[in-house]
Amino acid sequence: MLSHLDAQGQPAMVNVGAKAVTHRVAQARAIVVLPAALAALLRDGDIATKKGPVFQTAILAGIMGAKRTSELIPLCHPLPLDDCKITVENQPPAADGSTQIFITCRAETHAKTGVEMEALTGATIAALTLYDMGKAVSHDIVIKDVRLCEKTGGKSDFRWPTSIA
């Protein structure tokens, strides 16, 4: 049975009242594929636009998104984040000139429930911000492979078994 359904199959928040507070960490990643024209502008690092510096704005948006996860995902518990870090990494260009950008969000808390959704939301919001800021150059931006890379501190730890973590 899914954890967010009650006995009647209706949506329900998971009761974490009896759980112990533990230190919890989660890391998630989104990959943004930039077409050649946009990748060329960002090849040497961040650029300033009318909306602000692209990567720095994406980082701030990702942190803000992680902090507001419970307002976006209906059954998430509101969590106080002890820390949230977003990194944006340019990968080497592909043969066609496109470039993958790895956006990683690491979220940390001391709570009764995990911080995976905050990490996933942070990475996703940062990726969407990159799309928003780059769409003036091209709409051929692709956001892909948003996934949890690892989590620790709950009932079970998880680490993605490939080199993406």
Catalytic residue numbers? 132
The CA distance from 90 to 100, in Å, is 6
Q: What length does the chain have?
A: 165
The CA distance from 89 to 94, in Å, is 15
Q: What are phi and psi of 105, to 5 degrees?
A: -120, 125
- Burial (CB < 10 A; 0-12, 13-18, 19+), residue 156, is exposed
